[in-house]
Amino acid sequence: MSKNILICDNKNYIPRLVESTITQYLKSSGCVVIEGAKWCGKSTTAERFAKKVVKLQKPATFRQYKLLADVGDANLLSGDRPILFDEWQKLPELWDYIRAEIDDTSERGSFILTGSAKPIEDRERHSGIGRITKLVMRTMSLSESGESTGEVSLFDLFAGQTKISGINKHKLKDIAYLLCRGGWPAAVIEKDIDLSVNLARMYVESLITTDVTNVDEIKRNPTRARAILKAYARNTSTTASLSTILKDVENNTIADTRTLDSYLNAFAKLFVIEDTESWAPRLRSKTTIRTTSTRHFSDPSIAAAALNASPDDLMNDLNTFGLLFENLCLRDLKIYMQGLNGQVFTYKDKDGLEADAILHLNNGQWGAVEVKLGGETLINEGAKNLLSLAKKVDSDKMKAPSFLMVLTAVDEFAYRRPDGVFVVPIGCLKN
């Protein structure tokens, strides 16, 4: 096995878009908490900002700092700042010590906490509002990994750009590979194609055999965890209910939605699944908006690995390919919008009208996106949906869309249609 399959050191470091957000938060908060899936690069990126690094996943270091926390020793928070506590959730007492220290000193940019799992709930733990700022770090977007030309910018589209151009270098088989490989930094720098795809499968094995139990100390069955993850993967990019997912779990390994919910909560705490919330705009009509979130993984490679699907398998199953491609696009859009201080939602109403992504800025600007593998028929269908949605939104009570976009996999060029809808290959997009 390649030595760097699980390592992305500073020598091989690829700059991340989230760095600008970390910089911004360190200037405005005493402590920044960076959360995200294991292996997404949190520690490596955070170390670039820290003057002292405490790795709590090392047993000897954990024992030392646990003792300091238990007795309230001042050395717990000693050292040049910012101090990084890596995998801080292993020592949740740190939260209140850091919060109190920030209250006493009023210093900004003093601490960085990274964690691959949400800490066990503690109702007595202070919220940290005004002192501690959280952000989610995801795996790498195609722009970060150098697999998007970046010729089309979301920032420019929100700023009113009407003319775009770009040339897509990817064929469908390339997208299938990028989807199965995922945005894991170690996989991105791995030159061996088979090994790079295998990383996501290693991640899933670790997840179901160890992580789903360690996250909250509730013992869970690996066979059951695998079956649930596979069922969730089959329903990715849909609004499938828990009962629907339950019926899709193979071999009847669970009998009720309560058990299913326990496993899904564990996956969410581990930043494995990241559902996309529904958008509720002001409409001209009294159309009922569906409020169910859309099922997504934090990285599409997790879904592919759960389904044991190779790039060739996806090429032979375009329906599954399309659903997982939407997940890839939502991952990238969330990364790009984070850098623009915006959010990503989905839209679907009772009439069946939908948009795969609503990109919403804090100033009220928004854009709508439909995701399609490509081809004239699918692009026309996506554009029709987007134009219908734009007409439904009450522009007297909220802003008209800044842009409408069909995001594709394999179309050769980025361009603006006569009806004003942009067609952009994912391999041409950036924030």
For 194-222, write each residue's pLDDT tens digit: 999 999 999 999 999 999 988 888 889 99
**Range in 48-52, 244-248, 342-346 with the lowest mean pLDDT:** 244-248
Helix, strand, coil content of the chain in percent (nearest 5): 45, 15, 40
d(CA 42, CA 36): 7
* Averaged pLDDT for residues 357-380: 96
d(CA 302, CA 318): 18
d(CA 289, CA 4): 47
- Facing residues of 87 across strands? none
Closest by CA to 273, choosing from 304, 299, 297, is 297
Q: What is the pLDDT, as a whole number, of residue 414?
A: 97
d(CA 273, CA 229): 10
Q: What is the pLDDT, as a whole number, of residue 215?
A: 87
Please check whether residue 278 is in contact with residue 348, taking contact to mean a CB–CB distance below 8 angstroms: yes
**Range in 13-22, 246-255, 325-334 with the lowest mean pLDDT:** 246-255
Reported confidence tier of residue 1, pLDDT bands at 50, 70, 90: very low
Q: What is the pLDDT, as a whole number, of residue 121?
A: 58
- Six-digit token string for 85: 């506590």
Q: What is the pLDDT, as a whole number, of residue 331?
A: 98
* Averaged pLDDT for residues 398-418: 96
Q: What is the pLDDT, as a whole number, of residue 218?
A: 86
Reported confidence tier of residue 344, pLDDT bands at 50, 70, 90: very high
pTM, 2 dp = 0.94
d(CA 267, CA 105): 37
d(CA 80, CA 107): 13
- Six-digit token string for 378: 């699918």
d(CA 264, CA 248): 14
* Averaged pLDDT for residues 231-257: 87
Please check whether residue 13 is in contact with residue 42, taking contact to mean a CB–CB distance below 8 angstroms: no
Reported confidence tier of residue 138, pLDDT bands at 50, 70, 90: very high
* Averaged pLDDT for residues 11-40: 95
Which helix or strand (DSSP H or E) is residue 413 part of?
strand 413-416
Q: What is the pLDDT, as a whole number, of residue 4?
A: 34
Closest by CA to 299, choosing from 374, 197, 231, is 197
Count Cβ atoms below 10 Å from residue 123 Cβ, excluding itself.
Answer: 4
